[in-house]
Structure 1
Amino acid sequence: MQWIKRLFGKEAPRIPDALWQFCFQQLPFLEPLSAGERIRLKAMSEDFLARKSFTGTAGFELDDETAVLIAAQACLPVLELSLDLYDDIAGVVVYPGSFLIPQTEVDEAGVVHEWQEPASGEAVHAGGAVVLSWEDATDMDAPGYNVVIHEFVHKIDMRDGNANGCPPFLPEFHAGIRPSHWQAVFAAAYEDFMSWVDELEAQLPEDFDDSRPDHAERYDELFGVLPMDPYAVRHPAEFFAVAAEAFFVLPAPLQEDYPEVYELLRLYFRQDPLGRA
């Protein structure tokens, strides 16, 4: 714990080489990065660790490995942009597992419904923190899934207000992207993806129960053809964040099924994961 404690002192953190190599072993999607990109990612991760506070909660004990693994993944989307995109982040809060988020919904009759929903991550707007479930952050079994990238992309999306799936376009980086074109491409892809998910859901048993092995197997068989997590259908902002997860972690299916989305993400993040491979 001695190294991570220095994050809050005057000394700028320097990630030991052995710890940085450990990070790459745990995150195979970083392997295709070039030598130059690895150097820049390490420097940016050290800067991120110096700028942001890390807090463990609900009994979770932070250590050096946890902090570096989160920092490396958080910095990947802004590797060719600017860490200033994360100025709005107060810090990073880490739970050992999923946590509950209050939800509110007003139905057509005007009745307010309130409940708590388990979550693997949350990006709190208006200067709030990024909250992560460490159990979910270390889940590498689901193809294309990455809760750390997901939540930090939400914070990028929130730079100009609430998350809506249309991130801020910075003049020095995004002069070639027309916001109207971005909105048209993502809206069309979102509608198409929702229809695709609806068609798959219609093929599930009427009494579907994911705790039943046969039902879970059927779900995996059907939804395994998707290029990204079906959670993307919940909102245009979720579609953008989930697409960004796939772009960095498992880009080939996304490029095959939604090439225009892939191309805009390539232009926005100024990275080409498939080109690296």
Structure 2
Amino acid sequence: MAGADGFRHNARMEWLTQLFRRHAPRIPDPLWQYCVARLDFLARLPADDQARLKTLSEELLARKTFSGADGLALDDETAVLIAAQATLPVLNLTLDLYRDMAGVIVYPAAFVIPQTEIDEAGVVHEWQEPVSGEAIDAGGAVVLSWEDAQQSDTAGYNVVIHEFVHKIDMADGGANGRPPFLPEFHRELSPGRWRREFEAAYEDFVARVDALEAQLPDDFDDDKPSHASLYDGLAAELPLDPYAARHPAEFFAVASEAFFVLPEPLAREYPEVFDLLRLYYRQNPLMPL
């Protein structure tokens, strides 16, 4: 990719320090163009949208603290790539939807967090699980795996958009798949229609995932290549990542990342959900340029 070498770790200008020291940071145009070119769903935005996205990214970098964890030295490219993806959902809205976010923490790869679940018998199960991202509620941070954040464009997957959409969902309380409607932006949206269409789509998708899992062997083990290949083949027939079946909040986040990154399957299989997201984000990624 043209111009890429200028921003590799071994040969780049250290703009990040300047970004955080200035009241109104400005991302250098070569760095911005390089980051946008790395992501097809950003590169296809009209020039005016890209310019506004750059301004929003600069504002996000000025408002929130970005920091590395577990030995990751956060550099210019990492910070700008994350900011550009994080601001896409609010491109035609407001950064105030991220007011509940303390900052952004970036790990080199997947990180482990504790999980708790109560089964139908009331038994509490606790375990440790590696994850690619986490949005912490009640004013917490967005935590990301840099390794996973670079896998965008793959089957609609985008961990950055996913976790930042969770923060939008949390803007008026815990994540439940019903983001806040802003009077100045969402007059066309009906809470009743949102609840009805998302609940119907979620129930349908859960049924699809259940049908997929019924085709797996009883001794299914995703560490076995043959089992993993079978699962991937079955999951490829779904319009969304199977993770969307875990909870209505996850369905909203997964549908949102697909909306921005790979919208065609979502629009085809769940047109009402696509239309609601189009109205909510005030964008249409299927509109011809």
Say yes or no: does 1:93 pair with 2:105: yes
- Displacement of 1:140: 3.5
Q: Which stretches in structure 1 are left out of the alignment for 5+ residues?
A: none
Distance in 2 of aligned mates of 1:144 and 1:63: 26
Q: CA RMSD in A?
A: 1.3
Q: Return the match for 2:203 from 182, 191, 197.
A: 191
- Please give the alpha-carbon distance, in whole angstroms, between the structure 1 residues aligned to 2:195 and 2:171: 17
Q: 1:87 and 1:276 mapped to 2: Cα distance?
A: 33
Instruction: Choose from 200, 203, 212 the match for 1:200.
Output: 212
Q: Where do 1:156-235 residues align within 5 Å?
A: 156-235=168-247
CA contact (8 A) 1:55 1:94 kept: yes
Which residue pairs with 1:119 in the alignment?
Answer: 131
Match of 1:28 in 2: 40
One-letter amino acid matched to 1:118: P
Q: What amino acid is aligned across from residue 195 of structure 2 in structure 1?
A: Q
1:5 aligned residue: 17
DSSP-derived class of the 2:37 partner: helix
Q: Which amino acid aligns with 1:110?
A: G
**1:107 corresponds to which residue?**
119
Deviations 1:45-104 (A, max 9, x none): 011111110110001110000000000000000000001111111100000111111112
Corresponding residue of 2:89: 77
- Listed one character per residue, the Cα deviations across residues 178-211 of structure 1 (whole Å, up to 9, x for unaligned) are 1011000000000000001111111122222222
CA distance in 2, matches of 1:266, 1:194: 23
SS of equivalent residue, structure 1 residue 88:
coil
Q: TM-score, normalised by structure 2?
A: 0.93
Rounded Cα–Cα distance in structure 1 between residues aligned with 2:137 and 2:263: 28
Structure 2: gaps (5+ residues): 1-12
Q: Are 1:6 and 1:12, in contact at CA under 8 Å, matched by a contact in 2?
A: no
Runs of 4+ in 1 over 3 A off after TM superposition: 107-111
One-letter identity of the residue aligned with 2:58: E
Determine helix, strand or coil for the equivalent of 1:172. coil
Comparing 42-51 with 207-216, greater Cα deviation is found at 207-216
Q: Which SS does the other structure have where 2:125 is aligned?
A: strand
Structure 2: how far apart are the matches of 1:80 and 1:118?
33
Mean Cα deviation higher: 135-144 or 250-259: 135-144
Name the counterpart of 2:74. 62
Q: Secondary structure at the match of 2:287?
A: helix
* CA distance, structure 2, for counterparts of residue 220 and residue 10 of structure 1: 46
1:5 maps to a residue whose letter is T
d(CA) in 2 for partners of 1:208, 1:142: 24
Of 243, 247, 267, which aligns to 1:255? 267
Q: Identify which range, 11-20 or 104-113, moves more after superposition.
A: 104-113
Helix, strand or coil for the counterpart of 1:2? coil
Indicate yes or no: 2:277 matched with 1:265. yes
State whether residues 32 and 276 of structure 1, in contact with CA within 8 Å, keep that contact through their aligned partners in structure 2: no
Alignment check: 8 A CA contact 1:95 1:134 kept: yes
Structure 1 residue 213, shift from structure 2 partner? 2.2
Give the aligned residue type for 1:195. A
Is contact 1:85-1:156 (8 Å) kept? yes
How has the CA–CA distance of structure 1 residues 72 and 124 changed in structure 2, closer, same or farther, with 3 Å as cutoff? same
DSSP 3-state at the match of 1:214 = helix
Measured at CA, do residues 221 and 191 of structure 1 come closer, stay the same or move farther in structure 2, by a change above 3 Å?
Answer: same
Alignment match of 2:158 (pick from 138, 143, 146) = 146
Q: How far apart are the structure 2 equivalents of 1:2 and 1:104? A: 42
Match of 1:46 in 2: 58
Identity rate, percent: 68
